[in-house]
Amino acid sequence: MAAGALPDVDADRHGVHRSRRIGLDHVGGDRRAAGPRPRAATNRRHGWLNVDDLVAQVPSATYAGQLRRLVRQLRRGGATRVLVANVPPLDHLPAYLDRAGITLSTADVVNAIIDDYNAAIADVVADEGAELVDLHVAGLAARADGTEAALVSDDGFHRSTAGHARVAAVFAEVVG
């Protein structure tokens, strides 16, 4: 593994998913199989693609193009409200620290990649009329107030129950 690179599997040894394999049916469900849904359900879509693509080392420009197409399709000319979360800080995750043999310079590399992704996400959100859910700022706030470790499960990578609750709270702040 290259210095500063992230593992190509998650902490459970599952392969990562690349966004080019994730289409609208994965994000919003297969509408044909599900049948008619209430309007409220059809106007909301969610997905979390960025960390998987980052771990898979998809270039930020490629990711941005894929995200832009996806958000544009989901927005359908403004008919659907789309929330897009950015990448939270990853450089203190135990699974990353254990696998990457992280040093200050490699943490800087990972943080630069995250910054590139987050800039791409912010551009797409602004250009396509979506709404940003700033999990990066929320993660840094958790780090500053000493709660970051409680947001990570025992596997050192995925969110704990408290982490899921915090992500939900950040989304709820945006939803209003």
Number of domains in the chain: 1
CATH number, residue 93: 3.40.50.1110
- Residue 27 confidence (pLDDT): 39
Would you give the end-to-end CA distance of the chain in angstroms?
A: 42
Q: Which residues pair with 81 in a beta bridge?
A: 44
Residue 131 within a domain: yes
Q: Which residues, including other chains, have CB under 8 Å from residue 71's CB and lie 6 or more apart?
A: 82, 84, 124, 125, 128, 130
Q: Mean pLDDT across the stretch 68-73? A: 93
pLDDT confidence band for 71 (50 / 70 / 90): very high
Domain that holds residue 28: 19-175
pTM score, whole prediction: 0.72
For 149-161, write each residue's pLDDT tens digit. Answer: 999 999 888 899 9
Average per-residue pLDDT for the chain: 76
Q: Is the pLDDT of residue 43 over 70?
A: no
Residue 14 within a domain: no
Residue 7 within a domain: no
For 77-127, write each residue's pLDDT tens digit. Answer: 788 899 999 999 998 888 777 765 656 568 888 899 999 999 999 999 999
Residue 124 within a domain: yes
